[in-house]
């Protein structure tokens, strides 16, 4: 077989399906799912194996064990938690009636205790019940020296749902408020709390991530080895930090998605969101809307910013598919005829977020996983908006558009 020569840049010359013009550097990400939604231990290990194989898509520093971060998002491993906590005489409620928080605490003991107190106070303020705390077993020997210096204390906390008054969706929104309030309570201490971060808090999903090399992720979190640790879906991500410095909190996945590429309009979109604070209202969140500001968390990456905005829409009653179509509208103007309803929706969604850059995103809602890019969205968004179940949940986010009817027409 004839050997394929390389060009002066070191890339092979175009051959077959390969074209050196398509070379680029970005994160590696993806998802795996059991199509029958059956939790299996194999899904966890398959996801970790793929992350391992994506090692070439990440960056490594001068410290050979320091990378930009890797992680997986999975369904709550209910069987594992149930059997683990029963050893401490703790009986968990049924699935959906409790939430699990994954948290990075400050490494300094006194600061960690203050953060724990803030979490417990936020839970109490929202009339929910703390079940217990759990130390997450990790193997720090796989961390680089430069990473160990700022490695957090990793814990989990469990919250019981008020079954008498809350549906699971209402409980999810309470968990959203609790997560936001944890940090706000600490900020009153007039100190920098960048070393405190609630990774995830949900009744359906949990995130395991950190500044570890992709091949070491499975070694770092010891829980992965337990056969009772199961999931039906897994989102995974190997980070290549391009526009931000690597950090524990910016490793991915985030709470609803993982992202590959760059969004070049981060500051503008953050300012747009902040400008809507006093004109926005929600028939779903109601008075809780004021408790979650600022929507965009401090010093996020472009991916984290997008996740914050997407979370607001989902928590306000939009379905995940509807929210994603609003966040990444189809490039529709040169694609032939469109209904007035579709055009109205796309015009109005331009006021939510304005994207510039190459973006590929995988998203989930614990039951459904999907992927979207700027140029490959499905059409017919007006049909989704016209669905009676898809009412407009957040008023004021379409600013300066005043009203959008069910057909998608701007009034």
Domain boundaries, the chain: 29-253, 255-411
Sign of CA dihedral 335, 341, 346, 347: positive
Helix axes 266-275, 302-315, angle to 10 degrees: 30
Is 16 in a helix, a strand, or coil?
A: coil
Residues above pLDDT 70, as percent of the chain: 66
Residues above pLDDT 90, as percent of the chain: 32
Q: What is the pLDDT of residue 310?
A: 87
CA 69 to chain centre: 14
Most distant CA pair in the chain, distance:
73
Mean pLDDT lowest among 138-142, 279-283, 385-389, 398-402 = 398-402
Neighbours of 334 (CB within 10 A): 5
CA distance linking residue 7 with residue 15, whole number of Å: 12
Q: What is the pLDDT of residue 9?
A: 36
Helix axes 340-349, 320-327, angle to 10 degrees: 70
Query: Cα torsion for 113, 117, 118, 123, to the nearest 10°?
Result: 140
Q: What is the pLDDT of residue 160?
A: 96
Q: What is the pLDDT of residue 110?
A: 93
Q: What is the pLDDT of residue 338?
A: 62
Q: What is the pLDDT of residue 335?
A: 60
Residue with token string 């961390």: 143
Q: Is 333 exposed, middle or buried (0-12, 13-18, 19+ CB in 10 A)?
A: exposed
Question: Is the per-residue pLDDT at 106 higher than 60?
Answer: yes
CATH of domain 29-253: 3.60.20.10
Q: Are strands 153-160 and 197-202 parallel, antiparallel or unpaired?
A: unpaired
CA distance linking residue 24 with residue 388, whole number of Å: 43
Could you tell me which residue, 390 or 384, shows the higher pLDDT? 390
How does 209-236 read in b/e, with b if 16+ C-beta sit within 10 Å? Answer: bbbbbbbbbbbbbebbeeeebbbbbbbb
Task: From residue 220, give the alpha-carbon distance in Å to each of 139, 142, 143, 224.
Answer: 5, 6, 8, 9
Could you tell me which residue, 273 or 67, shows the higher pLDDT? 273
Confidence of residue 371 (pLDDT cuts 50, 70, 90): very low
Q: Are strands 281-282 and 369-373 parallel, antiparallel or unpaired?
A: unpaired
HSE, CB side, 13 Å, CA atoms: give it for residue 313: 27
Q: CB of 68 within 8 A of CB of 246?
A: yes
Confidence of residue 405 (pLDDT cuts 50, 70, 90): very low
Could you tell me which residue, 292 or 297, shows the higher pLDDT? 292
Give me the chain's average pLDDT, please.
76
**Nearest alpha carbon to residue 240 among 215, 266, 262:** 262
Q: Can you give the three-state secondary structure of 40-93, one letter per residue?
A: EHHHHHHHHHHHHHCHHHCCECCCCCCECCEEEEEECCHHHHHHHHHHHCCCCC
Does a cis peptide bond (omega within 30 degrees of 0) precede residue 253? yes
Catalytically annotated residue among 27, 132, 182, 258: 27
Whole-prediction pTM: 0.80
Could you tell me which residue, 320 or 111, shows the higher pLDDT? 111
Q: What is the DSSP letter of 291?
A: G
Q: What is the pLDDT of residue 144?
A: 84
Q: Which two three-digit tokens encode residue 183?
A: 């940090």
Question: Is the per-residue pLDDT at 95 higher than 70?
Answer: yes
Q: CB of 51 within 8 A of CB of 238?
A: yes
33 phi/psi in degrees, rounded to 5: -150, 150
Could you tell me which residue, 188 or 14, shows the higher pLDDT? 14
CA distance linking residue 390 with residue 392, whole number of Å: 7
| Mean pLDDT, residues 315-327 | 82
Residue with token string 């997560």: 179
pLDDT in tens, 27-70: 666 788 888 889 999 999 998 888 777 765 556 666 656 667 88
| Mean pLDDT, residues 6-17 | 58
CA distance linking residue 6 with residue 20, whole number of Å: 10
Q: What is the pLDDT of residue 367?
A: 54
Q: What is the DSSP letter of 12?
A: B
CA distance linking residue 120 with residue 138, whole number of Å: 24
Q: What is the DSSP letter of 408?
A: S
Q: Does the annotation mark 27 as catalytic?
A: yes
CA distance linking residue 205 with residue 334, whole number of Å: 39
């Amino acid at each position: 077989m004839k050997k394929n020569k390389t060009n002066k840049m070191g890339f092979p010359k175009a051959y077959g399906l390969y074209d050196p013009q398509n070379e680029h550097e970005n994160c590696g990400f993806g998802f795996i799912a059991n199509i029958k939604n059956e939790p299996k231990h194999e899904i966890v290990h398959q996801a970790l194996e793929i992350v391992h194989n994506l090692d070439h898509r990440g960056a490594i520093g001068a410290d050979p064990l320091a990378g930009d971060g890797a992680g997986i998002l999975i369904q709550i491993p209910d069987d594992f938690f149930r059997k683990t906590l029963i050893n401490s005489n703790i009986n968990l409620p049924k699935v959906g009636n409790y939430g699990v928080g994954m948290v990075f605490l400050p490494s300094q003991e006194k600061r960690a205790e203050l953060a724990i107190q803030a979490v417990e106070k936020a839970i109490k303020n929202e009339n929910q019940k703390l079940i217990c705390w759990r130390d997450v077993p990790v193997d720090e020997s796989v961390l680089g020296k430069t990473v160990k210096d700022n490695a957090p204390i990793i814990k989990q906390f469990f919250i019981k749902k008020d079954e008498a008054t809350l549906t699971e969706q209402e409980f999810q929104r309470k968990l959203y408020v609790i997560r936001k309030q944890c940090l706000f309570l600490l900020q009153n201490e007039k100190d920098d709390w960048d070393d405190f971060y609630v990774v995830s808090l949900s009744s359906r999903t949990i995130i395991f991530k950190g500044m570890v090399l992709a091949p070491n992720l499975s070694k770092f979190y010891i829980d992965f080895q337990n056969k009772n640790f199961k999931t039906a879906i897994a989102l995974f991500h190997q980070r290549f930090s391009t526009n931000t410095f690597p950090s524990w909190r910016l490793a991915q996945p985030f709470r609803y998605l993982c992202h590959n590429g760059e969004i070049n309009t981060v500051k503008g979109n953050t300012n747009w969101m902040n400008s809507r604070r006093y004109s926005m209202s929600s028939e779903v969140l109601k008075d809780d809307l004021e408790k979650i500001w600022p929507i965009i968390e401090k010093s996020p990456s472009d991916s984290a910013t997008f996740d914050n905005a997407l979370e607001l829409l989902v928590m306000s009653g939009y379905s995940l598919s509807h929210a994603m179509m609003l966040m990444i509208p189809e490039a529709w103007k040169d694609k032939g005829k469109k209904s007035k309803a579709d055009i109205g929706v796309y015009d109005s969604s331009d006021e939510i977020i304005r994207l510039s850059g190459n973006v590929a995103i995988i998203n989930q809602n614990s039951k459904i996983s999907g992927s979207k890019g700027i140029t490959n969205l499905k059409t017919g968004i007006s049909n989704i908006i016209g669905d009676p179940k898809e009412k407009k949940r957040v008023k004021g986010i379409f600013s300066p558009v005043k009203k959008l009817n069910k057909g998608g027409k701007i009034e």
